[in-house]
Amino acid sequence: MSFNSHGVKAIYGFEMARFGRTFFQSLVTPVITTSLYFVVFGAAIGSRMGGGMDGVPYGSFIVPGLVMLAIFTESLNNASFGIYLPKFTGTIYELLSAPVSPFEIVLAYVGAASTKSLILGLVILATANIFVPVSVAHPVWMVAFLVLTVVTFCLFGFILGVWANGFEQLSFIPMLVITPLTFLGGAFYSIDMLPGVWRTLSLFNPIVYLINGFRWSFYGVSDVNVALSFGMTLAFFLICLGVVAWIFRTGYRLKS
């Protein structure tokens, strides 16, 4: 079967139109939240840290962490709601019976969710420049980490949307798993500040590698090896891709 570009464009366009209808919640609210982070963390705490973190002013140091925190949450929400709503309304059966392949369905939904998250990430990055100076030492790696992380978490969100049987389950993983792991993953501090045992435990948190790889692309500083950070991010992507392929092969919670 040839590639159904019209089907992909239709699904992608529908999801982007939904983004336009919820513009305030999707874009403005995270920007306001980020601004408050800079007021509280950047100004109140950063002013008491004269030397900054690893030679980087504290306000600038937390920028990659703030971008990642917003991207993690928004990618999961956008992708999970995108596929869950057709399940909830019953239109998923029309989608599955349409001449659109599983690859095209995932490409459209994940592509739309990734576009929204990338827009959000860039807007937050622009907002950060209003408060603190932000430099990008390795722009190619910054784009690579950003895109790979966004696509990975959108795939994870797609899996979450298929798995969830209710709106409560949709918010369970982002609120009770991803957000705590992000705060414990060095978003606002260097894990080198932790005692030996806690630093070792932090290395089992996959978010540590995503945030540190992204931060390295900005300032050239990282708590873990950059190659390992990229490898962990790529491994997470491949795992999510494999799970999505299994979902369509078995019909897990799509055809029941």
DSSP 131-154: HS----S-HHHHHHHHHHHHHHHH
**By three-state DSSP, how is residue 55 classified?**
coil
Judged against a pLDDT cut of 60, whether residue 55 lies above it is answered with yes
Judged against a pLDDT cut of 60, whether residue 1 lies above it is answered with no
Beta bridge partners of 53: 56
Identify whether 118 is part of a domain: yes
- Which residues constitute the domain of residue 227? 5-250
pLDDT at 43: 67
Per-residue pLDDT reduced to its tens digit, 207-228: 999 999 999 999 999 999 999 9
**By three-state DSSP, how is residue 205 classified?**
coil
Residues 9-15, mean pLDDT to the nearest whole number = 92
**By three-state DSSP, how is residue 203 classified?**
coil
Identify whether 255 is part of a domain: no
Tokens encoding 203? 């290395």
The percent of residues in the chain predicted with pLDDT above 70, rounded, is 96
pLDDT at 47: 66
Which among 58, 78, 82 is positioned nearest to 219, based on CA atoms?
58
Identify whether 256 is part of a domain: no
Residues 81-107, mean pLDDT to the nearest whole number = 88
C-alpha pair distances (Å), 16 with each of 21, 28, 114, 123, 253: 9, 16, 10, 17, 25
Judged against a pLDDT cut of 60, whether residue 32 lies above it is answered with yes
Judged against a pLDDT cut of 70, whether residue 74 lies above it is answered with yes
pLDDT at 241: 94
pLDDT at 112: 94
| Separation of alpha carbons 163 and 180, rounded Å | 21
Identify whether 77 is part of a domain: yes
Least confident stretch, 5-14, 125-134, 143-152: 125-134
Which among 83, 167, 169, 152 is positioned nearest to 117, based on CA atoms?
152
pLDDT at 146: 95
pLDDT at 179: 84
pLDDT at 23: 74
Count structural domains, the chain.
Answer: 1
Q: Do the beta carbons of residue 205 and residue 225 sit within 8 Å? A: no
Residues 18-40, mean pLDDT to the nearest whole number = 79
